[in-house]
Amino acid sequence: MSSPAVSGVPNSPSCKIVLGMAASTGTKFIEAKDLHKTYRVGKIEVLALDGVSFVVEKGEFVSVVGPSGSGKSTLFYLLGGLTRANSGSVVLDGDDFSLLTDAQRTRMRRRKIGFVFQKFNLLPTLDARSNIAIAQEISGNGQDDTQHFTRICDLLGLTKRLHHRPSELSGGEQQRVALARALINKPAIVLADEPTGNLDSKNSDVVLGMLRQSNQELGQTVLMITHNPKAAKYGDRIIHMRDGRIVAAEEDPQWAVR
Ligand SMILES: Nc1ncnc2c1ncn2[C@@H]1O[C@H](COP(=O)(O)OP(=O)(O)O)[C@@H](O)[C@H]1O
Ligand SMILES: [Mg+2]
């Protein structure tokens, strides 16, 4: 039996998707309230977000899609507390980012959020194992959960690649290491910005399947940004953006061209 949320989504060979668990719990977990963000380039102001509001419930897997320049990455940075809005607020698990000090925001990020970026962002001098383990060390979790470490690496097909540095790994392998690093601390929230943007379809399926699986098994809330309609369908719900605003699906030209 397949659940409606993932119908049509292929199971990757190394990432079996566990079906049938009701993930969403009806609890507000991420709340974006009327977010505005403007960048200043010299004397020119670029409006990146023009009043974005939405709620993600605990346990949901939400995809955000939209054309290039529509403000998706800016939204990602605001939701992750990596930059501040000009106005509006982000409330994450009851904590308003705008009311926290920089140190408190950093602590909250480390404790609650796993980040995945399009460009992997691995440390070049460390091997895959250390790139993953460093996330455990930074969070203060230590390396005590070896069972989880082994399982994540196994599911992502990394077990035999752990002693290789990023330069010795393919793009797909590097992103799988980056995903293992994001998931190793079992963060309540996984934020991913174009996680499959640099990957072939086989590696994309592994990464997306793993996001889906960790969402279903660990009840993690996942917010994934993508411009790929096939990838977006891994989500329970799709939010469409255009020109810094949330719009209906039919207003997103990418969505129509398929
Ligand atoms: N650091 C920046 N400085 C100036 N303008 C920026 C910066 N980052 C993004 N922008 C502009 O903000 C708008 C939204 O960009 P972005 O959030 O990266 O969109 P997306 O991820 O959907 O492509 C674009 O017009 C982009 O050029
Ligand atoms: Mg972007």
Distance 76 CA to ligand 2 centre (A): 9
The answer, yes or no, to whether any atom of ligand 1 lies below 6 A from the CB of 254, is no
Give the amino acid at 15: C
Can you give the residue range of the structural domain that contains 134?
4-28+57-85+112-256
pLDDT digits (tens, 9 = 90+) for 88-137: 999 999 999 888 898 999 888 888 999 999 889 999 999 999 999 998 88
Q: Is residue 28's pLDDT more than 90?
A: no
149 in any annotated domain: yes
Domains contained in the chain, number: 1
190 in any annotated domain: yes
Question: What global pTM score does this model have?
Answer: 0.87
pLDDT digits (tens, 9 = 90+) for 185-234: 999 999 999 999 989 999 999 999 999 998 998 889 999 999 888 999 99
CATH of the domain at 72: 3.40.50.300
Distance 18 CA to ligand 1 centre (A): 36
Contact criterion met (CB below 8 Å) for 246 and 71: no
Ligand nearest to the CA of 48: 1
Q: Which of 13-22, 195-204, 245-254 has the highest mean pLDDT?
A: 195-204
- Provide the pLDDT for residue 253: 79
158 in any annotated domain: yes
Dist. CA 147–CA 144, nearest whole Å = 8
Which residues have a Cβ under 8 Å from the Cβ of 1 and sit 6 or more positions away? 19, 20
Provide the terminal-to-terminal Cα distance of the chain, rounded to the nearest Å.
Answer: 27
